[in-house]
Structure 1
């Protein structure tokens, strides 16, 4: 099942409330990207649940995904809005650390910060290879061991930080 279009009205409402409460953290009035974790509703809900619980504080995205979606690569301090599997905007996130690399550059610390599966590098590598092969094929490109990956750490900044 594919992801529904995000509810941009709900995203705008969430963003406007955050901007009003935290003008010190907002660089730009424009609404940031509205995104999902994962590529189908069940996965989006599962991964967003890990964020809400505080277990997930990192994500990894193929650089080509940004190109396909005509989005710039994130920068430290950038915001984005995360949706659940129905397309409802739930959280405003802020990038706190970024690095570019390949799948060979993933490490135990990053796998633990992603908070998925059992938190090990081994399970992270296996699940992300499968995921990126699927995403790349759906977007018309091929995932290889040299594909560039954006390794991103983030914090939840709205509706309330989750520790």
Structure 2
């Protein structure tokens, strides 16, 4: 899989920087988006090429784990592992509510956190490791 983080070049660059130079080792997505786009959900052991905002490949990550969760059951330590903002669960909830409301609206769907309690609508909480390039690879590696 070849992907960028976020839904804009600016956000892709910002989040990639947090992966490469910060503490971002997790990401979250909506299960229904994979079905909508006809893509496979991520699973442990998958690799993905992460591109910058201009579409240039920058790193390769390996999916360490994936858990299903509702919006309301995301653990604080997972929110912190996403490496964004002040690392708090409150920040995570605010920006992800805004993000999924916007991105689901773009595909013609209304979205609310309550939907994530329904089968097929859950969040996918993914923990990742950098595999390449070596200077950014996580010490725990593959």
Please state which band the TM-score falls in when normalised by the shorter chain. Answer: 0.7 to 0.9
Secondary structure of 2:40's partner?
Answer: coil
> How does 1:23-102 map onto structure 2 within 5 Å?
33-102=1-70
Normalising by structure 1, what TM-score?
0.77
Greater alpha carbon shift after TM alignment, 149-158 vs 100-109 = 100-109
2:119 corresponds in structure 1 to none
C-alpha separation between the residues in 2 aligned to 1:156 and 1:76? 14
Count of paired positions: 131
Residues 120-139 of structure 1 mapped to structure 2, 5 A cutoff? 120-139=88-107
Query: Are residues 1:156 and 2:122 paired?
Result: no
Cα distance in 2 for partners of 1:80, 1:64 equals 19
Any idea what the Cα deviations from partners look like across 1:44-83, whole Å, max 9, x if unmatched? 0000000001410000001112112211111100111111
How far apart, in 2, do the equivalents of 1:90 and 1:34 lie? 10
Unaligned runs of 5+ in 1: 1-32
Unaligned runs of 5+ in 2: 117-121
1:60 partner SS: strand
Q: Describe the superposition over 1:121-140 as per-residue Cα deviations: whole angstroms up to 9, x where unpaired.
A: 00000000000000101122
Rg (Cα) greater in structure: 1
Whether the 8 Å CA contact 1:59–1:151 is kept in 2: the answer is yes
- RMSD value, Cα: 1.1
Residue 135 of structure 1 aligns to a residue whose secondary structure is helix
Q: Residue in 2 aligned with 1:20?
A: none
Asked if 2 retains the 8 angstrom alpha-carbon contact of 1:100 and 1:150, the reply is yes
